[in-house]
Amino acid sequence: MQYEPVIGLEIHAQLKTNTKIFCNCSTSFDQQPNLSTCPVCLGLPGALPVLNKKVIEYGIKTALCLNCKIADKNIFARKNYFYPDLPKGYQISQFELPLGLGGFINIGEKDNQKRIGITRLHLEEDAGKLLHRADGSLVDFNRTGIPLMEIVSEPDLRTAKDAKEFVVKLRDILLYNGVCDCNMEQGSLRCDANISVRKAGAKEFGVKTEVKNMNSFRFMQKALEYEIERQIDELESGGRIIQETRLWDEAKGVTVSMRSKEEAHDYRYFPEPDLVPVMVSVQWVEDIRKTIPELPDEKKERFVSQYNIPEYDAKVLTTSRDLADYFEDCAKLYSDAKIVSNWIMGELLREIKNDNTDIKDCSITPKMLTDMLGLIKKGVISGKIAKQVFEDMYKTGDAPQDIIEKKGLKQIMDPNAIRSIIKEIMAGNPKQVRLYRQGKTKIIGYLVGQVMKHTKGKANPQLVNKLLAEELKRD
């Protein structure tokens, strides 16, 4: 029996504002516990919330990028429940009238795109953070009142891989807009999934479970794959799926039941009496629209047409705005964009990944990289030596010309110089020379290697091949 998974996602993104959503406390992550608090975010009696305008702006900006309709009237509501990390006993959130409604994101390649619907985008405040230890539980209220954006997708996703692609795409949009730093490990981007399976062709949805605690893209895909298999196995063996919340246990590679969700919570929502409705004018939306940068998809398409590079390259180069800018700066200085792309995707990204740093902090400027490419083109250094120069540039931040000069890495182009080295190598390898002359011509590769070794890779390989063949033919 074939089953079809049905997946919907709920994503929480902490907005990168300087201060919290309803007070002036700092949102900075690395602070002493409970120091970034005040009567408002601690929920002390009589304290009144004041809405941070930036939060609405960031919300509108994101909603526009997700093709949502922007609500002109926004109302915040109280979502009432008790939990130790929620000092007020309620969370201020948007309920009936969310900021954004009915949008979409396209995933997949150009000729095979799937449209994934966005049900809603709303704004709310984060709760505090609980830390469970052997000697008891601790609470940190630094996180209470950090602005959160909740984005809910339609149940349009059908595979774990698509779900991952959706979140990656959403993350790129948030990063390009600078509204969230999207650090899944630190929890600034959190993702929960609703999953069910149904027999292929069925119209009705199956019973769904909610999977939480997937704090990396890799874990997310693994967790969803596991949960899909678990549900199919359960149904195939005659069992039934219970509506419940399950946690991904990375160490064991399984999802485990956290709590059953047989009955819906009643949060007793009502409009927050301490905040007035937020009216969003058309003009305000249009002003914000003008601040939206070129998004990854548009940039990717432009890179393909403007620089004539493969789609794959364009995709890699647009994974971040900084990387895309770096590539464009290089492409302005060196006309062969594909060569630029090869060096960035190969050598540069490898070094950056090894060091776990960022392109912003890279010691090789676009000018240095393209100067080096120019030196290869002019034959001053070989492509092989260039890799050595590149490593040196990366470590020291020195200009390629200086490195070549200092280390004597200039390519040997003088035929006489190369010829005399060839003669030396031939004299030292009489057996190989004899074999070549007996018809084992493949052995030339060995002799070329010896010449290159002798010159520490600096001899021009084409010249070495040509001159060596000439010398071997001469008796």
> Binding residues for Zn ion, per CB under 5 A?
23, 25, 38, 40-41
Neighbours of 50 (CB within 10 A): 12
Listed in sequence order, the residues at least 6 apart from 100 whose beta carbon sits closer than 8 Å to its beta carbon are 59, 60, 62, 63, 66, 68, 69, 70, 71, 118, 120, 121, 122
| Cβ 46 to Zn ion shortest distance, Å | 14
Residue type at 221 in one-letter notation: Q
Whose Cβ is closer to Zn ion: residue 23's or residue 393's? 23
The CA-based angle 249-253-255, given to 5 degrees, is 50
- Report which of 387, 391, 397, 345 is spatially closest to residue 367, judged by C-alpha positions: 397
CA angle 189/193/194 to nearest 5° reads 155
Distance of closest approach, residue 18 Cβ to Zn ion, in angstroms: 13
Report, in Å, the least distance between residue 44 CB and Zn ion: 10
Nearer to Zn ion, 23 or 467 (CB): 23
Q: How far is the CB of 40 from Zn ion (least distance, A)?
A: 5
Sign of CA dihedral 244, 248, 249, 253: positive
d(CA 447, CA 392): 29
What is the signed CA dihedral for 313, 317, 319, 325, rounded to 10 degrees?
Answer: -160
Q: Rank residues 38 and 254 by Cβ distance to Zn ion and give the closer one.
A: 38
Q: How far apart are CA 52 and CA 21, in angstroms?
A: 5
Least separation in angstroms between CB 141 and Zn ion: 9
Q: Hey, what's the torsion of the CAs at 107, 108, 109, 112, to 10 degrees? A: -110
Note whether 155 and 134 are within 8 A (CB). Answer: no
* Comparison of 3 and 22: residue with beta carbon closer to Zn ion: 22
For residues 24 and 357, which CB has a smaller minimum distance to Zn ion in the complex? 24
Nearer to Zn ion, 15 or 463 (CB): 15
In the complex with Zn ion, the residue whose CB is nearer, 28 or 216, is: 28
Q: Give the pairing of strands 209-212 and 244-249.
A: parallel
DSSP β-bridge partners for residue 341: none
Residue 75 burial (CB count, 10 A): 16
Distance of closest approach, residue 275 Cβ to Zn ion, in angstroms: 15
CB of 24 to Zn ion, least distance (A): 7
Return the SS3 of 426: helix
Least distance between Zn ion and beta carbon 39 (Å): 7
Min dist. Cβ of residue 23 to Zn ion (A): 3
Nearer to Zn ion, 61 or 88 (CB): 88
Which residue, 40 or 368, has its beta carbon nearer to Zn ion? 40
